[in-house]
């Protein structure tokens, strides 16, 4: 019997570090609300990443929400957001009744196109408008052109939020992703490179990081004033990470480098093993970047007779999980009517069924497949996956 292969599943440390930290929490009865695991996890993340201030929260989505609030986003404000991403990057914009404007990707990094961002900022400036924030994503752990984007934002004086939910461990020129923007966010959701079962972290990298982190802590704990009674002057949220969950995080952080190494080995295996399949290419590995390879993603050329859906279906028949590339936000019904800025000036639908268009992000969506990237996979498992793909190419006589 062949076993199921996951796309990416939780992978606790071989040493059982997580259990030790959880045990500590139980013994001290610091199950909730806070305790040393939370504060230590924050410190350990700050040290590991070289971030200003870290605040442990209940999810990556909550971290984006808190970053927007810390910037002061309110009703009607514009926020520029990368279109090719998971909806959680954009949803918090609407929590504050702000207005998302989506920016296309570039083929070099699959992430926000710096040229499209620059043009968008200039076009809005010409009509006297300016976004209150920019959200860039390091999709699948691939590093965006973060220095260029940081520079553009600095020049236009717009705060930058770096969605590093998928890129924990990715390094650009010696610096971890999540530490370039004014704010960075990390996710510890179940399928991410390390997990706490569910959780997230906000990284505050501004000059007034201590103050901003304190403010976020206050909003994230129901906006309780330091009074003897329950006193509130602002609306709060229940967004803080629990001490038990933080214990899992501390254990997982110890094996982050090991997981990155394995993810990279998985990607290299696919590259080596599938190199001969014509019309198939791999996600880019940008220069000067060390990628965590959270998911291994392939692209099929337009005229490739094998289609992404063929691959996903054949893998499913073999009890192997795979996934399409994220469907861009500008193509999502929920964001219909939002502005979208691309270098592609004439947009048209290329796939009636999925609604994909000819933008860079639309094409990455239409032609991409995320291959299983579970760190528990063996080389035999990967071999099994590669044989499924090879067979498809053989059927097509390629
Ligand atoms: C997972 C993810 C998030 C959200 O993180 P949660 O912890 O699940 O709330 C945000 N952005 C991207 C790109 C993600 O992949």
- Between CA 190 and CA 195 the distance in angstroms is 5
**In angstroms, what is the span from residue 98 Cα to ligand 1's centroid?**
19
For the question of whether the overall pTM of this predicted structure is more than 0.85, the answer is yes
Q: What is the pLDDT of residue 299?
A: 98
Q: Give per-residue pLDDT as tens, 261-314.
A: 999 999 999 999 999 999 999 999 999 999 999 999 999 999 999 999 999 999
Q: Across all residues in the chain, what is the average pLDDT? A: 96
**In angstroms, what is the span from residue 184 Cα to ligand 1's centroid?**
12
Which protein residue has the closest C-alpha to ligand 1 atom 14?
165
Q: Give per-residue pLDDT as tens, 130-160.
A: 999 999 999 999 999 999 999 999 999 999 9
Which protein residue has the closest C-alpha to ligand 1 atom 5?
60
Residue 317 has pLDDT above 90, yes or no: yes
Cβ contact 259:266 at 8 Å: no
Sheet order of strands, 289-290 included: 175-176, 171-172, 289-290
- Which of 58, 165, 170 to mutate for ligand 1's pocket (most ligand atoms within 8 Å of CB)? 165
Please tell me the number of Cα atoms within 13 Å of 101 on its side-chain side: 21
Q: What is the pLDDT of residue 27?
A: 87
* Residue 227 binned pLDDT confidence (cut-offs 50, 70, 90): confident
* Residue 32 binned pLDDT confidence (cut-offs 50, 70, 90): low
**In angstroms, what is the span from residue 344 Cα to ligand 1's centroid?**
27
- Between CA 76 and CA 89 the distance in angstroms is 18
Asked if residue 269 has a cis previous peptide bond (ω within 30° of 0), the answer is no
Residue 1 has pLDDT above 70, yes or no: no
Residue 35 has pLDDT above 80, yes or no: no
- Which of 137, 166, 167 to mutate for ligand 1's pocket (most ligand atoms within 8 Å of CB)? 166
Q: Which residues pair with 175 in a beta bridge?
A: 172
CA nearest to 187, candidates 334, 96, 292: 292
């Amino acid at each position: 019997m062949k076993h199921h292969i996951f796309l990416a599943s939780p992978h606790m440390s071989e040493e059982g570090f997580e259990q030790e930290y959880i045990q500590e929490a139980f013994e001290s009865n610091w199950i909730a609300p806070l305790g040393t695991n939370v504060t230590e996890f924050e410190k350990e993340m700050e040290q590991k990443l070289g971030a200003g201030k870290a605040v442990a929260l209940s999810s990556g989505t909550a971290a984006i929400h808190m970053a927007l609030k810390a910037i002061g986003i309110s009703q009607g404000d514009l926020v520029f957001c990368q279109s090719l991403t998971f909806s959680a990057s954009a949803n918090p914009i609407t929590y504050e009744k702000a207005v998302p404007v989506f920016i296309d990707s570039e083929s070099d990094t699959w992430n926000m196109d710096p040229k499209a961002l620059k043009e968008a900022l200039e076009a809005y400036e010409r009509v006297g408008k300016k976004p209150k924030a920019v959200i860039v994503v390091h999709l699948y752990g691939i590093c965006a052109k973060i220095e260029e984007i940081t520079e553009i934002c600095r020049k236009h004086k717009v705060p930058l939020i770096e969605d590093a939910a998928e890129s924990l461990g990715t390094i650009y020129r010696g610096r971890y992703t999540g530490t370039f923007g004014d704010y960075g966010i990390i996710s510890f959701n179940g399928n991410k490179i390390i997990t706490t079962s569910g959780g997230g972290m906000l990284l505050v990298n501004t000059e007034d990081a201590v103050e901003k982190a304190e403010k976020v802590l206050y909003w994230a704990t129901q906006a309780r004033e330091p009074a003897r009674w329950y006193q509130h002057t602002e609306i709060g949220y229940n967004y803080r990470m629990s001490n038990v969950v933080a214990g899992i995080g501390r254990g997982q952080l110890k094996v982050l480098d090991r997981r990155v190494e394995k993810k990279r080995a998985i990607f290299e295996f696919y590259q080596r093993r599938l190199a001969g399949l014509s019309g198939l290419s791999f996600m880019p590995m940008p220069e000067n970047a060390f990628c965590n390879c959270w998911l291994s993603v392939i692209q099929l050329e337009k005229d490739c007779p094998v289609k992404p859906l063929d691959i996903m279906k054949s893998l499913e028949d073999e009890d192997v999980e795979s996934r399409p590339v994220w469907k861009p936000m500008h193509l999502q019904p929920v964001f219909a009517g939002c502005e979208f800025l691309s270098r592609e000036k004439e947009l048209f639908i290329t796939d009636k069924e999925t609604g994909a268009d000819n933008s860079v992000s639309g094409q990455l969506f239409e032609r991409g497949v995320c291959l299983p990237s579970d760190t528990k996979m063996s080389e035999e498992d990967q071999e099994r996956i590669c044989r499924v793909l090879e067979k498809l190419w053989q059927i097509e006589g390629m």
